[in-house]
Amino acid sequence: MISMDQLLANQVMLITGAGSAIGRKTASLLAQAGAKIVAADVPGLALTVTVNDLTTAGFTAIAVPTNVLNPAAVRALLTTTIHHFGRLDGLINHAGAMTPLISPETFGDKLWDQVTTTHTASVTTVTREVLPYFARQHHGVIVNVATVGQLTSDQTETAYTAAKRAITTLTKKLANRAATNGIRVNAITPGNIQADIVEPLRVRRAQEAGGLEVATRTSNEIAQTTLFLATNQASDVNGVIVSVDKGWTSSIRP
């Protein structure tokens, strides 16, 4: 049996949105599995904390402040990664932002464009840049992060969930096209994490599910799933969308 610290030994993993709670936990677990971490996020304290936590714990990690919606910035991110580590083995597309819980009839064009662009272009811009590199080395893994909400009819999250639905569709299309180049592409659809910002949504979803607890206690369950998909233990898993929601979506009734 492979030990935990050998699952990703000497591999280089790029994580966007690394300053978020899930991104930080994912970086930590991948580092514990032996990976060298490239943490990308907007400039700020959150990104600094992620990398400081990793290096203080003895892991190898660098912070690369990046606007992942900017193609030039993303090209610079990949260049920095290869220059520093000499390789790249995996990409975790986690960059995104919380959006207002408002109904579709009140969604203005500007907000709609902002939300959908943030959540789709953050994936497509980085993925487009790394795919040729992965193809040349005939090796690479991509894990996209969507949301369990895109599997439901919750109208208060229209733009956000529409964008995340686009990500899961893109995941399947890319998995099919990239497989011949030794690239795996999967996605996870997390349920809620307990936090003030999502508590009203968590309560409503619990009511819809007949009282079933739908909040993920911590970001650990989500990060653990990402870790599995990033390792060779999931070598035969490609084009799969994995829900991490404590069974909430399985309880949905007409």
Beta strands in 17-163 (DSSP E): 36-41, 61-65, 90-93, 140-145
Single-letter amino acid code for the residue at 45: L
What pLDDT sits at residue 154? 54
Which pTM value belongs to this model?
0.87
Question: Per residue of the chain (254 residues), what is the pLDDT tens digit?
Answer: 667 778 999 999 999 999 998 899 999 999 999 999 999 999 999 999 999 999 999 999 999 999 999 999 999 999 999 999 999 999 999 987 766 666 667 777 787 788 778 888 999 999 999 999 999 999 999 999 987 665 655 554 677 777 888 899 999 999 999 999 999 999 998 877 655 344 445 445 445 545 444 554 468 888 999 999 999 999 999 999 998 877 766 665 44
- Give me the residue spans of the domains in the chain: 4-243
Alpha helices in 86-234 (DSSP H): 109-137, 158-178, 199-208, 220-230
Residue 245 contacts residue 193 (beta carbons within 8 Å): no
C-alpha triplet 85, 177, 244: angle, nearest 5°: 75
What pLDDT sits at residue 132? 96
Which residues make Cβ contacts (< 8 Å) with residue 12, sequence separation at least 6? 35, 36, 37, 38, 81, 85, 87, 88, 89, 90
Which residues make Cβ contacts (< 8 Å) with residue 119, sequence separation at least 6? 96, 97, 160, 163, 164, 166, 167
Helix (H) or strand (E) holding 215: strand 215-216
Torsion of CA 13, 14, 19, 24, to 10 degrees: -20
**Domain 4-243 of CATH type 3.50.50.60:** no
C-alpha triplet 145, 130, 224: angle, nearest 5°: 35
